[in-house]
Structure 1
Amino acid sequence: MSETSAVPVAPPRIKRAQQIALTLLMISGVVNYLDRGTLAVANASIRADLGLSLSQMGVLLSAFSWSYALCQLPIGALADRIGPRRLLGLGLIVWSLAQAAGGLVSTFGWFILARIALGIGEAPQFPSAARVVGNWFPLRARGTPTGIFNSASPLGTALAPLLLSILVVSFHWRWAFIATGAVGLAVAVVWFILYRDPVRAQLSADECRYLDADAQEVVTQSNVTFADWRSLFQHGTTWGMLIGFFGSVYLNWVYLTWLPGYLTAERHMTLMRTGVAASVPFFCGFLGALSAGWLSDLVARKSRSTVIARRNAVVICMLGMVVFTIPGALAQSNIVALACISVVIFLANAASACSWALATAAAPQSRIASLGAIQNFGGFIGGALAPVLTGVIAQKWSFVPALLTAAVIAFVGAMAYLLLVNKPIPEHEPGAANVPLPA
């Protein structure tokens, strides 16, 4: 098949598996981000109830991201090795129990432990989703499904202020944590019942040809070794994606964790008004992820290099994030500020969707989740630092220098993608040792 040829039509059984997989990834992704966003929505109520300062809240907001980021490194290899069905299903159970526990804590220390457990449980979501797309979609058709599963993050974030503000105001902030934890456990049951990882031996010849379209090399099974995983760090592509996603996620997480608090503290909105205002930018982010996935597939099919096409899309989106963050921080009008923030979050989620699509193009077929998780590790080191530094800077000065700092960091990330991500990583490394990962 040529570089510019159309992707073949999926056989009926593959099509059904794709639809089930994407539906479940969307649902679990929305729940994932509802759980992450609960703390941000209930920010003011929790600070008042537990007597926390802005700096302490910044530490609490970042606790999730540290454990989430550190778990990315082993989680990616596990997703490649044991498959997303078992890994994501177990993750759903762990994170839902941790989320419910957040509604029962009474001290700052116990709350931090609950958020750390939440980060561990949620770590498999996106590496597993990347592995699902790599398993069920051919190379040049992975942008659209990647955009779909990525769109769950802004959709969940957009729904969080609308749904959870009602629970916080009408009942208590604790019920927001308990209710979303219960929903996650129900989703875990549905995931185990409906989703299956593909078994190549059970696929027909037509189904295998469809999945292998445009593949540089066909991999019938994924038995990732430690040497295979470690060898990814020998490539500039890996480092460019790791550093670049740091910048992208840092800026995105400033808004994700602090937007409701920013609107109430800096722009003096009420909690109910903040719930509506904070949801609008993330609905824009939902549209950004969906449109970016489709457009990146269109460009990739017409490009000589899928990696370069998807990389350029990431860079353009990130530079747009930088440009619109500056007037968003400086504008006196709340309407102008929200409009700029909406554009930034549209582009941030477009960049995220394109970054995960880039991982499926740049990685060897056997290590898609591994490379995606390494990129995500870099991103969520940025995600862990963002709420802490934002809280410290906002407390000492204001939110304006905090937002401008985030814009500079995102610009550096864009340059890392542009300068270091230039070609795909080969499947086989000459002379690599065959040291298996622990079972």
Structure 2
Amino acid sequence: MMDRPTGVRHVMVGVTTLVAVMLYLDRVCLSIVGEAIKEDQGITPEQYAMLLSAFFWAYALFQIPAGWLGDRFGARVVLSAYLFWWSACTGLMGMASGFAALLALRLGCGIFEAGAYPLASGVIKAWVPSRERGLASGIVAVGGRLGGAIAPVLTASIASATADGWRLPFIVYGAVGMAGAAVFYWWFRNDPATHPAVNPSELAVIGNHADSATPHPGAGLPPLEVFAFNFPLWMCSLVQFLSNFSWVFIITLFPTYLEKVHQIPLGTRAWYQAIPLYFGILGMLAGGMLSDIAMRRFGPRWGRALPMAASRVLVGFAYLGCLASPDAFSIMLLMCLVAWAGDFGTAPVWAWSQDVGGRHVGALLGWANMWGNLGAAVAPIVIQKIQSQYQTPENPAAGWAVVFAVCASTQVIGAIAAMFVSSSQPIGRPAAA
């Protein structure tokens, strides 16, 4: 009779979730203390915008190389190194002076954080049985949203304890992250079979734990044709681009809309922006569970595609609802649906990359995540241009109505693209004759 399975796989998911929490604490910290930094360092609004965007572009463009390094050298070494170095860059920001130093360190944060989610996907594939990967992916993704939700209050509380009002949060988060990197390296193993706390019963539960978190010293970057000529991959990338295009409105220009159109005061605006993010957490959990159910019921062809498409349809309907909603509270509730449905679609994307990625799962998710972050990067510019083009002095809401219509239309395209995302054929493996 076999012993009861140990629960190390659950601990691994929990530890990876904490890494995601740190990811967003460090990422959001700058926006919370930005005014204090500008005043203390004499940074202009234009330079401050460069600090914010520098992280975003570096994060997007380093997704693939960061994921590939994890595929080549293993998550234990590489994810530990990434966590250490992005935490070091964060901590050094609290000691830096001048725009150039802050810009360089912000770029460093973006470069090293780029590997976190691609490598987390490999950790889940190695440690979680396929039937549970959607839920595990959702839990890890929730860590990021949770970090983003708690960062404002926590950062402000730490910053208020110092005279300059901004350095201490960076130093605290950096120190905690570097310590966390050491703990992760000590506890984590690329292969569950080599972990001293895993018993044979748990190995049997994990099943074919594959090798996505294990080093592949001879592995190069995936062949170009893997990305260039794989139609489902391009469709998944398009889904990610359009998903983030609509979602990022909540954390960028939604407060501006509330102020300009509805004259909502600052305190209320903060809550109206925060509440949808908590609904996003619920959406991620639901997306993980229902994606696994859909996979079991509909199989690899439709199991990931249907949840992705459904999430886009719901987001589209929410933005259409904004056209008919006259008050700010109703708009906030619709943004809750945007956040819930948008994050509902995150877990199926992760799970799909694990289904088909094989030894290149990190680089594959990095590719899709890169396109998602590029969507988030261009959205504020496009939305602001649309809004300013169509607004009038008599009707400041007119431009925003066009924005809502555009966001809704992009989700129709996203839903159609999602229907072509299939887990039937592993990436890079020729189809069976």
- Report the TM-score when normalising by structure 2: 0.83
Deviations 1:250-275 (A, max 9, x none): 22223234455665676555555444
In the alignment, does 2:370 pair up with 1:377? yes
Correspondent of 1:322 among 309, 313, 316: 316
Q: Which runs of 5+ in 1 are unaligned?
A: 1-8, 432-439
8 Å contact kept, 1:313–1:354: yes
Contact preservation (8 Å) 1:62, 1:386: no
Cα deviation, residue 404, structure 1? 4.8
SS of match in other structure, 2:372 = helix
- In structure 2, the residue matched to 1:138 is 129
1:424 corresponding residue in structure 2:
424
Q: 1:4-403 alignment to 2 at 5 Å?
A: 12-13=5-6, 15-16=7-8, 18-43=9-34, 50=42, 52-53=44-45, 58-168=49-159, 171=162, 172-198=165-191, 200=193, 209-212=204-207, 223=216, 225-226=219-220, 228-233=222-227, 234-259=229-254, 268=263, 272-303=267-298, 305-328=299-322, 331-361=325-355, 363-390=356-383, 400=400, 401-402=402-403
Query: For the structure 1 residues 153 and 259, does the alpha-carbon distance in structure 2 shift closer, same or farther, using more than 3 Å as the test?
Result: farther
1:67/1:265 CA distance change after superposition, 3 Å:
farther
The count of corresponding residues between Structure 1 and Structure 2 is: 415
CA-based RMSD of the aligned residues comes to: 3.4
- Residue 3 of structure 1 corresponds to none
Deviation for aligned residue 1:112: 3.2
User: Within 1, Cα distance between the matches of 2:243 and 2:215?
Assistant: 30
1:317 Cα deviation from its structure 2 partner? 0.7
Pick closer, same or farther for the CA change 1:227–1:42 going to 2, 3 Å: closer
Question: What do the CA deviations read for 1:240-292 (whole angstroms, capped 9, x no partner)?
Answer: 11121111122222323445566567655555544444322111111111111
CA drift at 1:200: 4.7
Q: What is the match of residue 4 of structure 1?
A: none
Contact 1:162 1:279 in 2 (8 A): no
- Taking structure 1 as reference, are residues 56 and 261 closer, same or farther at Cα in structure 2, changes over 3 Å only? farther
Identity of matched residues, %: 26
- 8 Å CA contact 1:317, 1:347 repeated in 2: yes
Flag the 1:350–1:413 CA change in 2: closer, same or farther, 3 A.
same
Code of the aligned partner of 1:128: L
**Greater mean deviation of Cα atoms: 25-34 or 408-417:** 408-417
TM-score between the two structures when normalised by the length of structure 1: 0.82
Greater Cα offset, 245-254 or 108-117? 108-117
How far apart are the structure 2 equivalents of 1:324 and 1:128?
33
Question: Match of 1:189, as an amino acid?
Answer: A
- 1:162/1:277 CA distance change after superposition, 3 Å: farther
Q: Deviations over 1:19-75 (max 9, x none)?
A: 22111111111111122122333455556665644x665543322121111111112
Mapped partners of 1:315, 1:360: distance in 2: 19
1:130/1:372 contact within 8 Å kept: yes
Q: Does the 8 A contact of 2:70 with 2:215 survive in 1?
A: no
User: Alignment partner of 1:226: what SS?
Assistant: coil
CA contact (8 A) 1:200 1:220 kept: no
Cα distance change on mapping 1:104 and 1:338 into 2, 3 Å: farther
Amino acid in the other structure paired with 2:147 = G
Residues 269 and 97 from structure 1, CA distance in 2 versus in 1: closer, same or farther, beyond 3 angstroms?
A: farther
The DSSP-based 3-state class of the residue aligned with 1:197 is: coil
Aligned-partner residue type, residue 242 of structure 1: S
Moved more, 260-269 or 290-299: 260-269
Q: Write the letter of the residue equivalent to 2:274.
A: S
1:149 Cα offset (Å): 0.5
CA distance in 2, matches of 1:258, 1:378: 21
Q: What is the CA-CA distance between 1:237 and the residue it aligns to?
A: 1.3
Which residue type is aligned with residue 426 of structure 2? P
- Superposition deviation, residue 416 in structure 1: 2.3
Please state whether the residue corresponding to 1:12 is helix, strand or coil.
coil
CA distance in 1 between counterparts of 2:358 and 2:149 reads 33
- Give the Å deviation of 1:390: 4.5
Q: Which has the higher contact order (CA 8 A, sep 6+)?
A: 1
1:89 Cα deviation after fit: 1.0
In structure 2, what is the Cα distance between the partners aligned to 1:51 and 1:404? 36
Counterpart Cα distance in 1 of 2:363 and 2:233? 10
Whether contact under 8 Å (1:91, 1:125) holds in the other structure is yes
CA contact (8 A) 2:16 2:120 kept: yes
On the 8 A contact 1:143/1:296 being kept in 2, the answer is: yes
